[in-house]
Each structure stands twice: as structure tokens, then as C-alpha cells.
Chain A
């Protein structure tokens, strides 16, 4: 026997360890090494499904109905197999719209209905409290059993259940309501639950191994002994005497399948705490694998216990504990106790957190927000309020659970509450499933279905359980209310031959679904509902970030941020809005456009903290929305929801196509322009070639025709022919030169050079020209010129071009050309070549660098190709410089070019 002190210390130590694990999980998450972000941890945390009720009770069930304990595990396995169909949808919807509980899910789906959210929360609360009581009872009775006082009625202060309740409340508050987060994930809690799942599995496997291989000689031994006892052998047959009928099998499997999805704690673990939806894929077989393991020894333990204790009256529910105790194995008994504690605490913690979220977001907040001063206007910071409400709710739920446990004791209403609870949450199924797959489900339908289903549940399951507990007279059960036989709760409308759970499940779901369908058709969804419905139903097809929000808001960031801050706190709010701004491609929060999407984002943000329905009230109190009419919305939705995704793709494609077309058009324009330029160039070149050719041909022909032309004339004509030939040669050379430079085929012989030298050489080369027209050259060079990296010959070409141009245009008398070199800081050299000629008219200054554009009076038409300046400019630009002209007509012209001093490429 173990002493109460030892047990108590072990329990405390274990809970302390749990605190440590949870704390570690939270810390790791904060440091970015998320433990919960793993398919294994996720799957283990789903095993919160296995509570103390199943931990102890499945052996009890197996002892009374043999393989009949299986449906409770077959259901979840089937449920997980459907994970892709249902759970993935739920996860995606919840993440997109920041849904944090079942109540929130249903309320949001049906037009953010507060009434619906409240109703679901209430049902969940009613279904949960006795279930929590059951866990407390399991802990307490296992405790009492181990201190060898199974039926001890302990005083309040020495009641294990009370301390358990208090400690669990503390734990849930600490790790379930640490801060208000928009994602509402609690990694520490998840880590602790995963840890607990391992503990209870190990404990159960240990006792299973002990019974199978310690007490007996393996599974075969147990079964062969059972075969010797007909009353036990029956348990191993499907449909044998005393075993369950097929109807019950089906009902129980369905029930467990629904509960693994819709139990508040399962929703919390599967959906809310999901870090990555891909984990779902692994969990779909890991979790059933866990269930298989933990059920491996259920039947051997049950049968072994029955064989071992015979008719000595030991409750099969306690076999897990009593077998080790009987074998004097205190250590194993202690481990089993800790395993049971694990199962109980895990369930209580998650369930109380899940239900407290519902109570806060869907019961209390909506009531508080009824006062308009809370919803809008007020500046007070409410960010601590939801946390406070949740903490109170957790404490309240556990207190209620404890009270129920104290009041109900050994009553049927407590013992059988496991499946009864399952049946309560099964009522969420039509509204949830309908909501995810059927656009037509309406708020009225969901309300009616829930009310009918829950009503039947109360009538056919809860009240009879009270009767069986002796709290109500049994006449009601046997003869129906007021003696109406047809209304007997367990043979409702004359349906007989089913066990109470299957019976109640059948009728409650029947009326639930019937009312849901009937009222959905009778009162189809309104505009807001239809919009929400399409968001839920089309979740797999649409991008949740673009939503059907059919109104135009009258508020912007300025109003929305303070509003959200009141519930979320300033820091979190700013973080969230900044992230949102980045997503929208806006650099600052202030620049966010005041559009429907912004309002929707704010509402979603709030929804994570205070629930969808409440968030809607808060935001719409601030937003002067202009809703569209129902017909419009329905019209848009019918087509939009289906076609929307496709049409968006189409739009994108057609936009891309337009862009491509525009680019092509632009490219084509550029090509045409280039083609035109080339044509112009060719035409100009042709003209420039034909002109000298004309003279050459004319004079040659005349000289040929008439040999008697006098010598003077003849010499003159030949001179012209020679000059025109030279002109032609120059032109051809320059055209080729320009073509080479422009096409990038020119050769550049770059070297370090002194620009002063280049200028001196160029002036020397052109000195003949200056001398011929007696033009004075004024050269001004700095003492020291920074070296330049360029092609010397090319720069001389530029200089000679500018100098010879200048000579052409100088004043006829007193012609002067000035050449000046200066450094522009450390970046560039500037060269100026100025003449004192007529200057260039303003309107021609821009075109002087164009090809074949020659300036000047026709009579004084300068001999030149019209390509010198374009080539010079190309050369200067090749070295990264620029060339331009400044001129005041009548006062000469100055040509400038600058060359950068840094090594240029080329």
C-alpha cells in the first residue's frame, strides 16, 4: 500500500514537471525553436482525446461488452482518415479568419451571429462541466484506491479532487492565457500535452505488459483460459449475447468520429494549435497509430482482470490499478496513477482553455459590447480584459466541475457522462459540416438545428441520466411525461431496441439535420451570411486574403489602429499593421488605403482576440458601412464565388498578355523609329554622295566632250574634280567611322594620356588652317593635368574637328579661337573651344550635333561632311563624357566637352 503522503508528493512532483515542460515549450517558442512545430508533437497533442475516462474506462467497457470498447477508437481513426476532407478545411478556414473556437467558427460562418456563438458556447459548457467532473473523480478515486480506502468520503480540505482542480486551474491560466495573441496558440501547453500523451501511453503499456506477460503467459494464454469460461468467451464475439448490436457499433463509431473533430479540446488541438497544415498529413496516421498502441492491451487487461478477480466484485474500471496493487507492485501502481493523472489533467487543461475562449469571446464579450460605450468611443485600454475574462472562466469551469463532482458523486449522471458529452458536441456537426460544404446553410437553420438537437439531447440523455441518478422520479422515464407513452425519453416516438446513447444520437441528429435543412431553405442566408458562407465553402479554391467584402468603409488606419489597440495592446497592434502594410507593398502604415480589405484585416485581427462576432460588432460600430442589397450580393456571389478564382487567373493572364503586347508594340515602335532613322541616314548619305559625284561627272564629261577648252578653264575644272573627290573620300571614311562607333565595332587603343599634350598636338596639326586665315589661337592649359585613360588618336580627332570647325566660322577680320582646359573638381576635365564667329542661333543649337546638319549661311556653305560633330560627340560619350555647345548669336560659339577622370572602360 502507498501512503497518501507519497502519492500526493508524486502527483505534485508530476504536475511540477508538467509546469517545467510547458515553460520549456513556451521559452523555446519565444526563442524561435518551436517544439510544437513538428508533426510528432502535433500528433501526440491530439491524443488529449484519450482522457482518464478512456484510460480507466475502456478496460471497464471491454470487461462488460468485449470488443465493444473499440468504436471509441475506430471512430477517431476514421475521422482522421477524413482529415483531408474536413480537418484541412477547418484548419485553413480558421487560420484565414483567425477563428479560435468552435463557437467562433459557427458564429462566423453564419454571418458572425452572436446568438449562435453564444448558443454553441453554452452547449459546450454544459457538455464539458460534467466531463471535467469525471476527470477529477478519476484522479480522486484512483488516489483513494491506492491508499486502500476506495469509498472514503473525504472532507473538503483533504479532498484530492479539490487540489487537483486548483492546480489545474492554475496551470491552465498560466499556460493558456499568458497573453492575448491573434493566433491564440499556446506552444507551452501543447508541449506539455504531448508529454502527457507519452506518459499515459507508457503507463498503460507497462500495465498491459505486466498483465499479459507477468500475470499470464502472453495473449494466447489469456484467450485460451477465457475460452474455458463460456460467460467470458461471449465477450470476444461480435453480436454475441450481451454484446452490442450493429446499430450500437455504428452509432458509437459515428459518435467518436464526430467527437474527435468537434470536441472543444480536439478543435483546440487540431485546429487552433496547428502550426503547419502539413502536420495534418502525418497526424492522419500517427494519431491512429497512437490509438492502436494504447488499445493494444485493453482486452488482455480486461480479460486478465476478470479471470484474476473472478466474482470478487472488483470494479473492472479499476483493473488497471487493482491488478498491479494485487501483485504488490507499488512502483507500477504509482506509474499507472501518474498515467491516469496525465490523462485527466491533459483533458481538463485543454478543455478548460478551449471553453474559456468560447465563454470569453462568444458569451461575455458580446454582452459587454452591448454597451456601446465599450464598443466604440472610449479610449480606455481593454487589452487585459479578455485575458481577465478567460482566467475567470477557467477558474469558474473548474469550480463548476468540482462542484458537480461533489454533488453527483457516484451517480449515473457522472459515470456515463463520457459518451453523453460526445453526444452533446455531435450536435455541432450539421452546422459545422453544412457550413463548410453547403453555401445554402443559414443562420436560422443552424440555430434551429442546434436548438432541436440539443433539446433532444437534454430530453433523451441528460434527463434520463438524472433519473437514473435518482434525482428525478422514474415515472417520467418509464411512462413518458404525463403518461404519454410515445414520448418516453429512451423510446422516443416508439423507437425501441437501441441503447440509450445510440437512440439519443439518432433522434438528436435526425431533428438537428432536419431543422437545419428545413429552416435553411425556409430562411435562406442574408447578404452578410452569404458573403461569409462563400468565404468558408470556397476556402480551398480562393485566396483568403482577397475577400468578398461588399461595402465601402468610411474609416482609415487612423481610426482602426486605436480601435484594435484597445483590445490587443499598442505594440501587438502596430506589429500586425506593419506586417500587413508590408504585405500590401506599402512602406508605412499611415499610407495604407482606407479600403474594405483594411477594415477586414482589422476585424480579423480582433477576431483572434475577442471572437468573430464581437470583432464584427466593434469594427462595424466604427465603420459607416454601406452594405449592398441582398439581391446584388447574391447575384455577385452566385457567379463570383465559382468564377472568381478562375476569372482572377484570367485577369492576371490577360494583364500579362496586355503588358507583353504593349512591350511588343513599344519594341516595334522603336524598331520602326530605328528603321526610319536608318532610312533618313541612308537618304542623307545618298544625297551627300551624289552631290560631289554630280560635279565630278559633269566636269569630266565636259572635259571629254570638248578637248579645246582653254588651259585656265581646264585647270579650274580639274581642281574642282580633285576637291570633290577628296570630299567624297572624306565622306565615305566618316560614314564608315560613325557606323563602326555606333555598332560598337570601333577599335579603341586606350592608354594613360595627358590631355594637355593632346590639345597641343591638335593645334599643331591644324596650324596650317589657322595660318591660312590668320586666325589667332589662345591656348590656356593648367600647369598640371590629371592623367586620363582614353584613346589618344580619337581625342585628337575630336580636337581637330572642333578646331577646324572653329576656324571655319571665325570672324572674317581679327578671327580668334580660344582653347581652354580646366579640371572640374577631381571628377572630370573640361575642354572649351570658342570662336568669335557669328554664333549659332538658339533653335539650331540643339540640332547641331545631328548628322548632316550643317550650320551657316548657304552662300558661305562650309566644306564639311556634316558628320564631324556627331562623331566627336560619340567619341566623347564613349569615354563617359558629354559634349555640348553654348552660343550667343553674334558673339561666337563655344563647344565644350567633359571627360571623366576615373578609368573608363573600353
Chain B
């Protein structure tokens, strides 16, 4: 069964690249351009994993993460946070809020795919 991935980022070009990448790996892809949209889409589409950008309008990735983790229905959802701010404190904060993994931009596409797969239990 194909896994469903939600991509939440406000940078159009990044969304395009991620969408292409994930689709090429055979995942079903849902898009969201800000934090609120991400939450609505997650509740609607129930993806297996979300690629969550931190700096987003309306709701930041941290807020989205926190909200999802406080919802018991969302416990199985894997969250991979992406941020252009590479400070250690940001990483620590993301992990503390319940993210499963954290990657800084710019990332290697290979690494990202590997991470996504391992989070979804698809690793060879």
C-alpha cells in the first residue's frame, strides 16, 4: 500500500522539488502552503508522514507539531521537520516538541529520501 506524505512549506519552489522527489519514490503526496492548511489537510488526508517546514505563515512548524502531538489520533503520524535555521536550539526544540526527525536546509535529496523511508519502516 502506498504511503501518503504531506508536504508543508511556504516556499513554492521547495514544494515543487519535494513533490517531485516524493512522487518519484512512489509516495502519494498532499501539499499545504501554511501551518493552518497543513493541520486541516492532515486531519482530512491522514498522511503517514509530514515534511514540516518550521518558518511558515499563520502557524509555524513548531506550533503544528505541538498540536499534532497533543492529539491522540495523530500518534502514529511521523513528523520530519525541515528548517533553514540551523541552530542547535532549533533542532532541540523541534525534537522536544515531538518531531521524529529533523533536517536542515539545504538537504541532500538522497538523505531525505532515506530518512523518510526509514521513518516509514521501508528501509531495505
Binding site for B on A (CB under 8 A): 683, 686-688, 690-699, 701-702, 705-706, 713, 717, 720, 723-724, 857-859, 861
Contact = CB atoms under 8 A, between A and B. Distances in A.
B17 A858 contact: no
Nearest to B15: A695
B86 interface: yes
A694 B16 contact: no
Given A691-B84, A694-B107, A702 B55 contact: no
Contacts of B39: none
12 contacts: A686-B85, A688-B84, A690-B85, A691-B11, A691-B105, A694-B11, A695-B16, A697-B109, A723-B13, A858-B57, A858-B58, A861-B10
A687 B18 contact: no
A720 B13 contact: yes
Contacts of B12: 861
B90 to A, nearest CB: 9
Given A694-B106, A697-B106, A724-B13, 12 more contacts: A690-B85, A691-B14, A695-B11, A697-B108, A698-B17, A701-B108, A702-B20, A702-B21, A720-B13, A858-B10, A858-B34, A861-B11
Given A691-B14, A706-B24, A858-B56, A696 B106 contact: yes
Interface in B1-57: 10-14, 16-18, 20-21, 24, 33-34, 55-57
A713 to B, nearest CB: 8
A706 B113 CA distance: 15
B109 A701 contact: yes
Contact of A695 (B13, B55, B56): B13
Which of the four size classes fits the interface of chain B?
A: 20 to 34
A35 to B, nearest CB: 83
Contacts of B106: 690, 693-694, 696-698
A525 to B, nearest CB: 72
Nearest to A695: B13
Nearest to A727: B13
A683 B56 contact: no
Contacts of A859: 33-34
Contacts of A857: 57
Interface of B: 10-14, 16-18, 20-21, 24, 33-34, 55-58, 84-87, 104-110
Nearest to B110: A701
Given A690-B106, A706-B24, A861-B10, A695 B17 contact: yes
A695 B15 CA distance: 9
Nearest to B90: A683
Contacts of B84: 686-688, 690-691, 694
Contacts of A683: 85, 87
Nearest to B85: A687
Contacts of A723: 13
A806 B24 CA distance: 40
A859 B107 CA distance: 23
Contacts of B11: 691, 694-695, 861
A701 to B, nearest CB: 4
A787 B18 CA distance: 54
Contacts of B110: 701
Which of B13, B16, B57, B85: most chain A Cβ within 10 A?
Answer: B13
Closest 8 pairs (CB-CB, A-B): A690-B84, A698-B17, A858-B57, A694-B105, A695-B13, A694-B106, A697-B106, A687-B84
A723 B17 CA distance: 14
A695 B10 contact: no
B15 to A, nearest CB: 9
A169 to B, nearest CB: 98
A696 B87 CA distance: 21
Nearest to B109: A701
A49 B21 CA distance: 117
Nearest to A698: B17
A697 B20 CA distance: 14
Nearest to A706: B24
A694 B17 CA distance: 9
Contacts of A858: 10, 33-34, 56-58
A686 to B, nearest CB: 7
Contacts of B105: 690-691, 693-694
A749 to B, nearest CB: 37
A449 B107 CA distance: 104
Contacts of B20: 702, 713
Contacts of B55: 687
Contact of A698 (B10, B21, B87, B104): B21
A713 B108 CA distance: 20
A579 B13 CA distance: 78
A705 B109 contact: yes
